[in-house]
Amino acid sequence: MKNYINQNQERFLDELSKFLAFKSISADSAFKSECLECADYLVEFFNSIDMDTQLIPTKGIPVVYAEKIIDENFPTVLIYGHYDVQPAFKEDGWDSDPFDMVIKNKKIYARGAADDKGQVFMHMKVLEFMSQNNSWPLNIKVFLEGEEEVGSTNLEDFILENKSLLESDFILISDTSIISNSQPSITAGVRGMTAMELTVKGPKVDVHSGVYGGIMDNPINVLSHIIAKVKDSDGRILIPGFYDDVIEYNESQRAQFQEVFSKMPSKDDLCSEFGLNDLLAEPGFSPYEGGSIRPTFDVVGITGGYQGEGMKIIIPNQASAKFTFRLVANQDPKKVQKQIVDYINSIAPKTLTLEFDFSENSGAAYATNLDSVYYKVAAKAMEDSFGTKCLPVMCGGSIPVASMLKKHLNKETIFLGFGLEEDNIHSPNESYGIFNMNIGIETIFNYLNSIASQSN
């Protein structure tokens, strides 16, 4: 494989530049035709390497699906990626046209270079190699979405309508990063989220705080009491049953996470960078554990009463706040929502009225089973490629597609991504290292072969 990469390097970059040239911006309907052209390009490619390929329509931008079924007794991998990109315009601060790939300092610069076309491209080249050698070590299914950057609006419907098509033994996604080019890592967990808005309704109209202060309850005070009772000031959530399903990691797993945390900015560095006196740390956990393997409760916005200059002597008629709960495996967002509502109703003063709004999307967390063969073999493949032990990274953010796939397909997902934090995804001058592309192709190839040989 290494030879193939070396011999074809120029062709690879030339082909990648064509893939990156499509302005497949899903957020702007003006670019829908470019999204479709990009999908056609992919269909043509997968056909050219002898895979059974379909362009599957959705209510929005279609899904590209390709498969190579060798033997029903072989394991089957389902590869997910996306061919749409974030919006990008030269005037946003790009040094060059975002859709005209440039190579500088051994990096590819273009919108989608790392997120996710460049990483999808690695899989394309692995499959091309298998096709050219007519040596498919396992059954391959690929599905590439065109709406990831707009929240995968139609993905859940697509999965539900194509469950048998998507049947597999495990799922492989390259849309994440490694710690650094000298420290390979695999994203082994992402948090889920449930978001809500809580409104506390007070007197029908603002009333005079002199006349009614002490007589009528105050929606802001009540809302503050609720917030304070949802999470204590140490960072522990006080909702009964909230932690019941929270995954617990053993000491050796936590030691592995600690290796990752030790490479991240220190407490002092974070405090000084962000102007904080101290970090938060849930009792029994480090701040970085609090930010990854533990659920959290944060108020992302609050509003109520008078907010202009000076003072207005009122009891306001209402106050509201937007809450996000970051969830971890194996919390069920629906169950958690019910716990939240029951708890808040039980602790809130009975003087005023509460309104809950759960209309925002929620999603479960996803954690890769670190003891599964799919993870272990992936970590070994990374280690072989990089020559360094691969670490599992527990991520504080969410990758909604992960929990969606878990929910409906119920298979292990391996996040075998090769980006770097410096890649500027979603920002001007997005880039992807040529080193990362090449080592990605090599690692994915070795990984799929290892999985195949493991199951023989």
Q: How far is the CB of 205 from a copy of itself (least distance, A)?
A: 8
Task: Give CA–CA dist 308/115, Å, rounded.
Answer: 42
Count of CB atoms within 10 A of residue 321's CB? Answer: 20
Give the residue with the Cβ less far from a copy of itself, 90 or 208: 208
For a copy of itself (CB under 8 A), the number of binding residues is 84
Give the residue with the Cβ less far from a copy of itself, 108 or 319: 319
Return the residue of 93, 151, 213, 284 that touches a copy of itself, per CB under 8 A.
Answer: 213
Tokens for 339?
A: 């716990």
Give the residue with the Cβ less far from a copy of itself, 283 or 387: 283
Interface with a copy of itself by CB under 8 A: which range of 127-135, 338-346, 351-359, 404-412?
351-359
Q: Does 231 bind a copy of itself (CB under 8 A)?
A: yes
Contact 108, 9 (CB under 8 A): no
Q: How far is the CB of 272 from a copy of itself (least distance, A)?
A: 10
Q: How far is the CB of 322 from a copy of itself (least distance, A)?
A: 6
Task: Give CA–CA dist 84/154, Å, rounded.
Answer: 14
Q: Does 248 bind a copy of itself (CB under 8 A)?
A: no
H or E stretch at 103: strand 102-104
Q: How far is the CB of 280 from a copy of itself (least distance, A)?
A: 4
Task: Give CA–CA dist 417/173, Å, rounded.
Answer: 7
Q: Does 205 bind a copy of itself (CB under 8 A)?
A: yes
Q: Please choose, from the candidates 392, 394, 413, 391, the residue with its C-alpha nearest in 3D space to the C-alpha of residue 402.
A: 413
Task: Give CA–CA dist 414/142, Å, rounded.
Answer: 14
Return the residue of 55, 160, 211, 255 that touches a copy of itself, per CB under 8 A.
Answer: 211
Give the residue with the Cβ less far from a copy of itself, 30 or 205: 205
Return the residue of 16, 321, 344, 379 that touches a copy of itself, per CB under 8 A.
Answer: 321
Tokens for 136?
A: 């498919």
Q: How far is the CB of 339 from a copy of itself (least distance, A)?
A: 18
Contacts with 315 (C-beta within 8 Å, 6 or more apart), sequence order: 202, 203, 206, 207, 208, 209, 212, 213, 216, 218, 219
Site for a copy of itself in 387-416 (CB under 8 A): 395-398
Farthest CA pair distance, the chain: 85
Give the residue with the Cβ less far from a copy of itself, 55 or 313: 313
Q: Does 278 bind a copy of itself (CB under 8 A)?
A: yes
Q: How far is the CB of 297 from a copy of itself (least distance, A)?
A: 8
Burial track 380-416 (b if 16+ CB lie within 10 A, e otherwise): ebbeebbeeebbbbbbbebbbbbbbbbeebebbbbbb
Q: Does 294 bind a copy of itself (CB under 8 A)?
A: yes
Over the window 352 to 391, marking each residue x when it contacts a copy of itself by CB under 8 A and - when it does not, the resulting string is xx------x-------------------------------
Give the residue with the Cβ less far from a copy of itself, 70 or 341: 341
| C-alpha 279, offset from chain centre | 24
